[in-house]
Amino acid sequence: MRTTPEFNYTISVEFDDTPVRGNAMASGHADYDTQVEDEILSRLKWNDVWAWAVVTVTASIDGIDLVGTDTLGACTYDDENDFTSGSYFIDMCDESRADLMAKIKAVKEVN
């Protein structure tokens, strides 16, 4: 979880049902692509959710019942720390925060 002075961010991760073959790599080198896909499929046999995941980042503010989300599929990471140390996590925090702020604005406009 990431927290800023105003926002709280949480991560949820689920197995992605997108087929690994043909979607994990497109390097232009068939042997390398197959090797990467085989590694992912091997990790999935061990129930490693980070091998091929759908990740959702949720932004919230204490005391407000609304949340903002951003979701990304076909993710392959070692673990949550690997994911949060990368640039996608920061981008997803920004997107989930923007989604939350748009929802807050919409509620204010209705009231």
Structural domain that includes position 19: 2-110
Select the more confidently predicted residue: 66 or 4: 66
Calpha distance 71→56 (Å, rounded): 4
- Integer angstrom CA distances of residue 97 from 19, 84, 101: 30, 16, 6
Share of the chain above pLDDT 90, in %: 86
pLDDT of 49 over the 60 cut: yes
User: Cα separation of 52 and 50, whole Å?
Assistant: 5
Domain count for the chain: 1
Of the pLDDT bands very low, low, confident and very high (cuts 50, 70, 90), residue 5 is: low
The closest of 105, 48, 44 to 82, measured between CA atoms, is 48
Q: Does residue 11 sit in helix, strand or coil?
A: strand
Per-residue pLDDT tens for 54-106? Answer: 999 999 999 899 999 999 999 999 999 999 999 999 999 999 999 999 999 99
pTM of the model: 0.89
- Grade residue 3 by pLDDT with cuts at 50, 70 and 90: low
